[in-house]
Amino acid sequence: IAELLIRRGVKKEYSSWARSDTIVKHPELFKLWKQAGLSTLFVGLESMDEEKLLEYKKLLSPETNRKAVAILKELGITLHAAFIVHPDFNQEDFKRLEKEALALCPAEVTFTVLSPSPGTAFWQENKDKFICDPYYYYDCMHTILPTRLPLRKFYKHFSHLTELALRANPLRVNKIKVPCKDFIRAIIRGTKYIIALQLI
């Protein structure tokens, strides 16, 4: 497809998704897609910790994640990295994740709370532990499982992660010009989101 787009002179900008092990195994494919217009790649890194990756059943290593990040940087493809925040996180876990996320920047970084998906074995294992309506709050931004830290403290750390990610966004770091209206809208929405998390 990328070769056809290049041959036919199609000038578009694309965003896509990929696993980090796919990037590491086929860097030439992403180089080709960069030529075809791929600008941003969403990658579920989830964690840079070996034990957490095993728990999340990602079947890859932190080293694979790091290699994938390096390949994307070399190709000039913007990384949109997704990390999982575990309800069992303590303060040190949050600090470690902060460092891991900032080490990737400039990059787009997002965080989601580990939530059992309905119908999965993980859901069945935890169905008696839910602290709220698991369907109403199943948005990966709210924890539906008990947290190790007091709930308010958990959300304070979670909102801080989002704040750091917004500050390290490539648009801001690279001082890319954005229409004033869009810039103001992004600031207002980001601020509202962070405040909402802190008030939970």
Q: CB atoms < 10 A from the CB of 1, how many?
A: 8
Q: What integer pLDDT is reported at residue 179 of this predicted model?
A: 55
CA geometry: angle at 59 spanning 141 and 63, to 5°? 90
What's the pLDDT band for 189 if we cut at 50, 70, 90? Answer: low
Summarised one tens digit per residue, pLDDT across range 134-157 is 999 999 899 999 999 999 999 999
The residue among 8, 164, 194, 197 whose CA lies nearest residue 81 is: 164
Question: Cβ(130)–Cβ(136) under 8 Å?
Answer: no
Q: Is the pLDDT reported for residue 27 higher than 70?
A: yes
Summarised one tens digit per residue, pLDDT across range 47-105 is 999 999 999 999 999 999 999 999 999 999 999 999 999 999 999 999 999 999 989 88
pTM of structure: 0.83
**Higher-pLDDT residue of 6, 172:** 6
